[in-house]
Structure 1
Amino acid sequence: MNKHSLQTLHCRDGRSELLQSVSTRRMPIVDTKIRFAEPDKDGVTTHTFDGYAVKWDSINLHGEKFARGAFADMIALFESQAKKVHMYYNHGWRNMFDTTSAMRIGKWTGFEEDDVGLLVKGELTQGLRLATDVEAMLRHETVDGLSICFYNPTEMDYEEQDNHILIKRADLFEISVVDEPSDRSARINRQAETINNLADERDACDMLTKLGLDQADARHFITKLDSIMGTSADDTSKDDDPFAFLDK
């Protein structure tokens, strides 16, 4: 990274103001689906996840609010492969004295502006120790934040409102997985995360017991579900309700 990049990036992390020209904008991973892909040929599983890096109705602790469409140009460049948005843990690229923490832990694979905010999709790098550590924290729910790092907007790209600055165009340099999001009231949708993380029957049983079923009913539910999934959609010969046991 060159000197010019450091001078034009906004990246405040709330814990240090050593680089006054840089500001971090943190948001939690909200309504996130964290899931694990099937093992590849080498038996290694890719950890993928998605979440909102920005929400349109949120004013961050720096008094900024992002307008829908603020990332449209950036997304277009990304989709045309003319731009990359990097992934770090806690903005590690700023730690010039620790080469491990300064490593990129993965890559962002998709961006979408929807009705809620900027939805981002990414995957962690297989075999990288730091990425493995982050994966462990995501699994154990000890990390649940996202933080954006963007270049300084021009005067045409923002306007001052009564109680905040509205940013109408932003160019991202990186988005980090972080452990201290500014918005303490929003968290991961744990139910969606659990469902998308089911790896085998044991995980499914664990989830169902947390929802109130005992182990026997949980196993019975999974068996019946397997039977239903294996039955043709137009097969109406069976009148029995496979979920009748839930009404007991």
Structure 2
Amino acid sequence: MIAMHKDAAAVLSIKEMDDVTGEFEGYGSTFGGEPDSDGDVIVAGAYAESLAEHKSKGTMPKMFWQHDRDKPIGKWLDAKEDDTGLLMRGKLNLDVERGREAYEHLKHGDIDGLSIGYRIRKYEVDTETGTWFLKALDLYEVSVVSIGANENATITSVKAAKEAHEIMEKLRAGDRLTEREFETLLKGSLGFSNSQAERAARVHLKGSGEPADAAHETRSFLEALRG
């Protein structure tokens, strides 16, 4: 699994809106088709494992405003895959200000986008086109978003995820990592803080011998950290 927060490009897909209860329905993402602006294609079935885990735990992905964890605006009541994509049914919390604001924006058509926040579990990369085929995703939130704000968040997170992928490919090839690359891997894949990653990189890479030996040591080190 790539432990990397990623926000998908918004889908303009609010299907229904109940003016009384604040319930609404829409697609968090769609399957297949052409790669999105980030070069990703979500494969049908990508959410199956994550949704099954949510069901077994009695949980649901969170509902945020603009992918901001400090701004919950309601809750998701149902999530399922159909032939089109990830279909979500939720209810805005009209007893809180942000929920009422989201309701008014949706009701008047100011915004009509949903966007998912997830971690990648399984993927394949077409090296010729640079397209990522996302085959299994850990879904943890679906936000109501405006396109502009979501695009900015997506650009940052996608760059980080793809940089981590390139570093892992370099490691698999037996190439030695620079200190900065090692720090990036620790922070992105293992959740180290900046100071922890910097300290670990200095300690581990100090005095490493031949590049091939260093690459092998790095792989062993990461495997030990993962348990």
The CA RMSD over aligned residues, in Å, is: 2.1
The alpha-carbon distance between structure 1 residues 31 and 46, as it changes in their structure 2 partners (threshold 3 A), is closer
Partner of 1:78: 54
Map 1:158-169 onto structure 2 (within 5 A): 158-161=123-126, 162-163=128-129, 164-169=131-136
Partner of 1:233: none
Partner of 1:92: 68
Deviations 1:60-107 (A, max 9, x none): 2211111111100111122233433101111122xxxxxxxx221011
The alpha-carbon distance between structure 1 residues 27 and 92, as it changes in their structure 2 partners (threshold 3 A), is same
Give me the whole-angstrom Cα distance separating, in 2, the residues matched to 1:84 and 1:57.
24
Q: Is the 8 A contact 1:46 1:125 kept in 2?
A: no
Give me the whole-angstrom Cα distance separating, in 1, the residues matched to 2:21 and 2:54.
22
| Structure 2 unmatched ranges of 5 or more | 152-227
Deviation at 1:145, TM superposition (A): 0.9
Q: Could you state the TM-score of these two structures normalised by the residue count of structure 1?
A: 0.54
Partner of 2:73: 105
Q: Could you state the TM-score of these two structures normalised by the residue count of structure 2?
A: 0.59
Question: Which of the residues 10, 21, 25 maps onto 1:46?
Answer: 21
Give me the whole-angstrom Cα distance separating, in 2, the residues matched to 1:31 and 1:124.
13
Give me the whole-angstrom Cα distance separating, in 2, the residues matched to 1:117 and 1:69.
9
Deviation at 1:171, TM superposition (A): 0.7
Q: Is the 8 A contact 1:9 1:149 kept in 2?
A: no
Give me the whole-angstrom Cα distance separating, in 2, the residues matched to 1:119 and 1:87.
14
Q: Is the 8 A contact 2:14 2:113 kept in 1?
A: no
Higher helix proportion = 2
Give me the whole-angstrom Cα distance separating, in 2, the residues matched to 1:83 and 1:29.
25
Q: Does 1:34 align with 2:2?
A: no
Aligned-partner SS, 1:141: coil
Map 1:1-248 onto structure 2 (within 5 A): 8-10=3-5, 23-30=6-13, 32-36=15-19, 45-58=20-33, 59-93=35-69, 102-151=70-119, 153-154=120-121, 157-161=122-126, 162-163=128-129, 164-180=131-147
Q: Which entry has the higher C-alpha Rg, 1 or 2?
A: 1
Give me the whole-angstrom Cα distance separating, in 2, the residues matched to 1:177 and 1:31.
10
Give me the whole-angstrom Cα distance separating, in 2, the residues matched to 1:46 and 1:67.
33
The alpha-carbon distance between structure 1 residues 9 and 109, as it changes in their structure 2 partners (threshold 3 A), is farther
Question: What letter corresponds to residue 138 of structure 1 in structure 2?
Answer: L
Deviation at 1:8, TM superposition (A): 3.0
Higher strand proportion = 2
Query: What count of residue pairs does the alignment treat as equivalent?
Result: 146
Give me the whole-angstrom Cα distance separating, in 1, the residues matched to 2:144 and 2:89.
12
Deviations 1:115-166 (A, max 9, x none): 1111111110131100000100001100111111102x24xx1001243110
Give me the whole-angstrom Cα distance separating, in 1, the residues matched to 2:77 and 2:108.
23
Q: Which runs of 4+ in 1 moved over 6 A?
A: none
| Structure 1 unmatched ranges of 5 or more | 1-6, 11-22, 37-44, 94-101, 184-248
